Structure 1
Amino acid sequence: MLVEPGNPFPSSVELVLKAHAPLIDTRRASVIALEAAVSAMAPATRAAITADLKCFLAWCAQQRPAVQAVPASPETLVHYLRWLSAGSQVRAPAKPATLARRIASIARIHRVLGFGESEPLPTQAGMVRDTLKGIRRQRPEKQRQAAPLRFGQSMADGQAAPDGVTVQALLATCGRGIQDLRDAALISLAYDAGLRVSELVACQVADLTRVGDGSGRLHIARSKTDQTGEGTLAWISPDTMARLLAWQAAAGILEGPVFRRIHVLTGRPDAAGQQTVRNYVGDRPLTRQGVVAILRRRAIAAIELGHVQLEPGRKEDVIRSLSAHSFRVGLTQDLFAAGEDGAGIALALRWSSPGTALHYARELAVGSNAVARVLGKMRAADLEPG
């Protein structure tokens, strides 16, 4: 049995497995091991594995006759990958990165249920690896990256100001209204601390501390690369700290979540026909979707107000490319442009490795690598009047 009767709150992973129990060999399964594995997963990881398992188990159940899902045969996995890759009238073909994640989830659940210790996993079979390679070769793809939101001015000698939507352009759209104060504080903090969206929406008043020079410190209790909750501190500029205090004072926030949804309440028109509008700050934190909506609304305003210059027809693509991750990517690029090395950037922004940080700065790196430095000087000399 994959879920013990005495467990009142089984996880989404356990529920999915229980719903498809006939397709799963549970003779090696340990309920305790399953619960321990699920509890060790980050929320985003648990959600991804749940979605991947739902897809695979549903496909196994739809075969005629139904095929065993755990342990799966390599042939079953090959047919499943081909089905995902082919798509249908109602489902777009899965991308190679999605296929790799699906297989990784299947491999993980095999291990959790006791398979793969004394024998190789079916996901490691040559035919499965060859199928993935073949699909990648037929459909090569470039990993999509969130568009960077850089600060908006040159941060290092010799570096041109960035093009497109910038943090400064977003802040220029914020006035003195209650929503403006919240959005300005959110934009400033997301950039200064290089926050992931999960870290941003989890920010609490108690996590913020102001120090003598006007700057601040943000205690990040948990992040993607700190699942054990050891915590870390992020520096906040005096300007951002002032914006945070202005927002909290206007919203009357003394404790709890820093960034919250603002409800707009409209009353009946008065004698002059004017409709009264009142803003009400809720108690619950913003969601990930709420952060993205704020970002894109501000980006649209920045473009329409002339704070951002774009080529005709590019507005929709630019807006669509922005995500909450854009602040983090932009700060990484600004730090790289200022001459900081990958190790320092990875440490400050809580990247998993210097290589990950440099991955997001690779476009800037092209302009400062060995070829650019040497040939740039040589070509410049060729252009000098004789």
Structure 2
Amino acid sequence: MGTRGTITVNKALIDAFQAASSPHSIRALKSDIEAFDAWCRRTNRFALPATAETVADYLDGRAGKGGKPASLSRYKASIAKIHQLLGLTDPTVAPLVKLRLAAIRREKGTAQKQARPLRFKGPVRDAVRDAPRGLNIRALLLACDDDLPGLRDRALLSTAYDTGLRASELVAVQVEHIVEAIDPDARLLTIPRSKGDQEGEGATAFLSPRSVQAIIAWQRASGIDSGALFRRVQVRRYKARPAVKGRRIDSISSRETWDLRKTLSHPAIAARVEYDVGEGSLHPGSIGPIYRAVIQRAFDKAALSDLSAEDLARLLKGISAHSTRIGLNQDLFSVGEELSGIMDALRWKSPRMPLEYNRNLAAEAGGAGRLLSRLA
């Protein structure tokens, strides 16, 4: 890393930071600092300690290449953190950096692109009373196959919707985290740690009978009775091979080259599929692709009959691992759940994000939306 002078590393401070931070936070910091250092080398700047002008120019450069204000704020925070950890003066508190970042926000706006929600019955006004339509979880669950990948995907998707877990929290679910509930057909899921609970205070989420049945079916088929619940399933497909009648050795001319594949007889082999269930949990980055694959398969089976191919292509672009969390958030809003109840169900520490996720629904449910939807 490009540095100006000698920098003394306080190992105790670094160790304390690593112990207090999640693996995801450490990876993000490492990635951000490596990118900043590479830019400084290309532009003949010092990364450590950096000047306010260097940081401001870096943020401008990232903004010019499409960086969003939220991402730029993260880069700024990472640069500040590495300076603090190394006992260096933080350049990000300088007015120049703050004003440059404010100018970028003014120019680009601060609205973040929201993942497309995966709601239980799709884009409906009332998640309980209305019939399913469009892209909806109910249809996706019914369309999942009964082979090992399908059983896993059904259990995964149903659990993700019920609990509103983030990708990193979902893949961290262990069989031992599922405990009995008052309802004998339901279960409770203990969540030892989450993004908003780095100190491990813990939380509990509800698993519906639907999810419980899906989880039990997946466990029975996969043989998983402890450890990570949601795992990789490797599929091996073997083509059928017809029977081969070999030739007798004494019928082969001395001028022929022997080919044992033709000389020896082989019985017919039927086509088959073999599955290999992994030992560890899925990677958080695999959740979004799994959701998109489930949606595509459901569409191919005509389970999403009111969507066109163009609709599907447009919808798939917005689907991410966060889609089930946003979907549950919006369904709770649609049935009249109060903000405090939504925050409790999804373990929000602040009302900002649940309100942000419900912004579009609030416009439809507001006074103008109710009136205008009834006018001819």
Q: For 1:164-196, what per-residue CA distance to the aligned partner results, in whole angstroms no more than 9, with x for missing partners?
A: 321112112113222221111111111111111
Equivalent residue for 1:222, pick from 193, 196, 213: 193
Choose between structure 1 and 2 for higher RCO, CA contacts under 8 A separated by at least 6 residues: 2
Flag structure 2 segments of 5+ consecutive residues without an equivalent.
242-266
Q: Secondary structure at the match of 1:228?
A: coil
Correspondence list, 1:232-271, <5 A: 232-267=203-238, 269=240, 271=267
1:36 aligned partner:
16
| 8 Å Cα contact 2:2-2:40 kept in structure 1 | no
Matched to 1:328, the amino acid is: R
1:184 aligned partner:
154
Shift, 1:273, TM fit: 4.8
Q: For 1:231-280, what per-residue CA distance to the aligned partner results, in whole angstroms no more than 9, with x for missing partners?
A: 11111111211111111011111111111111223457453452222222
Mean alpha-carbon deviation: is it higher for 186-195 or for 364-373? 364-373
Matched to 1:172, the amino acid is: L
| 8 Å Cα contact 2:187-2:212 kept in structure 1 | yes
1:290 aligned partner:
286
Shift, 1:306, TM fit: 2.5
Shift, 1:141, TM fit: 6.0
Matched to 1:74, the amino acid is: A
Equivalent residue for 1:148, pick from 102, 110, 117: 117
Mean alpha-carbon deviation: is it higher for 230-239 or for 307-316? 307-316
Query: Greater CA radius of gyration, 1 or 2?
Result: 2
Equivalent residue for 2:138, pick from 164, 168, 177: 168
Question: Does 2:3 match 1:22?
Answer: yes
1:320 aligned partner:
317
Equivalent residue for 1:110, pick from 38, 58, 83: 83
| 8 Å Cα contact 1:24-1:68 kept in structure 2 | no
Q: For 1:273-327, what per-residue CA distance to the aligned partner results, in whole angstroms no more than 9, with x for missing partners?
A: 5222222222121122332222111101222222222255232221121111111
2:246 aligned partner:
none
Distance in 1 separating the partners of 2:110 and 2:195? 26
Distance in 2 separating the partners of 1:266 and 1:311? 31
| 8 Å Cα contact 2:80-2:92 kept in structure 1 | yes
Mean alpha-carbon deviation: is it higher for 174-183 or for 311-320? 311-320
| 8 Å Cα contact 1:25-1:70 kept in structure 2 | no
2:271 aligned partner:
275
Q: Secondary structure at the match of 1:292?
A: helix
Matched to 2:287, the amino acid is: V
RMSD (Å) for aligned C-alpha atoms: 2.5
1:129 aligned partner:
98
| 8 Å Cα contact 1:345-1:354 kept in structure 2 | no
Correspondence list, 1:192-207, <5 A: 192-207=162-177
Instruction: Determine what percentage of the aligned residue pairs are the same residue.
Output: 38
Distance in 2 separating the partners of 1:96 and 1:235? 35
1:139 aligned partner:
108
| 8 Å Cα contact 1:205-1:258 kept in structure 2 | yes
Matched to 1:366, the amino acid is: A
Q: Secondary structure at the match of 2:159?
A: helix
Mean alpha-carbon deviation: is it higher for 35-44 or for 328-337? 35-44
Using structure 2 for the length normalisation, give the TM-score: 0.84
Distance in 1 separating the partners of 2:88 and 2:285? 38
| 8 Å Cα contact 1:218-1:234 kept in structure 2 | yes
In structure 2, the CA distance between the partners of 1:161 and 1:115, relative to structure 1 (3 Å rule), is: farther
In structure 2, the CA distance between the partners of 1:160 and 1:115, relative to structure 1 (3 Å rule), is: farther
Distance in 2 separating the partners of 1:286 and 1:343? 32
In structure 2, the CA distance between the partners of 1:259 and 1:157, relative to structure 1 (3 Å rule), is: closer
1:73 aligned partner:
51
Distance in 1 separating the partners of 2:159 and 2:325? 11
1:49 aligned partner:
29
| 8 Å Cα contact 2:3-2:48 kept in structure 1 | no
Using structure 1 for the length normalisation, give the TM-score: 0.82
Matched to 2:198, the amino acid is: Q
Question: Does 2:56 match 1:60?
Answer: no
In structure 2, the CA distance between the partners of 1:156 and 1:94, relative to structure 1 (3 Å rule), is: closer
